[in-house]
Amino acid sequence: MQPVHYIFYRACVNLIGIGFASLVLSGIEVETFISLFIAGIILTFFQTFLRPLLVFLTLPFQILSLGVGYLIINSFLLKLTAHFLSGMYIAGFWSAFFGAIFISIINMLFDVFSSKSKVQVYYHKHGDDE
């Protein structure tokens, strides 16, 4: 997949994840579809450019916390997205934390079932060898 297509794919998956998170979790609210669309783009931008820097700067904490710091960074990016967007509201840290977990699960499911997935199914044809 070309980089531009991958970023567009990631923005669409983030849009779906934020939308479902706002439906399931009471602490996340998105007013309009346009706000949801822009939130997906902003979150993808932050995940593409800001998250690698934050992960690198907090690498010792990442190692010591066994990856929980990664969820905290995702929560921070989700809260930062809501801060830059007037049509999205996140109640607090725990809403952002559970929203980040929910969005991560949605991303993981889409990645497993996408055409780029490394999961392959092999069928063995049973037949008579005579």
Backbone phi, psi, residue 89, to 5°: -130, 130
Residue 92 lies in a domain: yes
Domain containing 46 equals 3-113
Q: In angstroms, rounded to a whole number, what is the distance separating the alpha carbons of residues 122 and 12?
A: 30
Does residue 28 form part of some domain? yes
**How confident is the model at residue 117, as a pLDDT?**
53
In-domain check, residue 119: no
Which pLDDT does position 4 carry in this prediction?
A: 81
Q: Is residue 125 part of a domain?
A: no
Per-residue pLDDT, 25: 93
Given this model, what pLDDT does residue 130 score? 52
Tokens for 41, please give them: 């783009």
Residue 71 domain-assigned (yes or no):
yes
Profile the chain (130 residues) by mean pLDDT over runs of 10 residues: 82 95 94 94 94 93 90 95 94 95 92 67 62
Q: What is the pLDDT of residue 27?
A: 93
How many structural domains are present in the chain? Answer: 1
User: Which DSSP category does 92 fall into?
Assistant: S
**Residue 32: per-residue pLDDT:** 93
> Domain for residue 21, yes or no?
yes
Model confidence, pTM: 0.82
C-alpha–C-alpha distance, residues 22 and 85, integer Å: 15
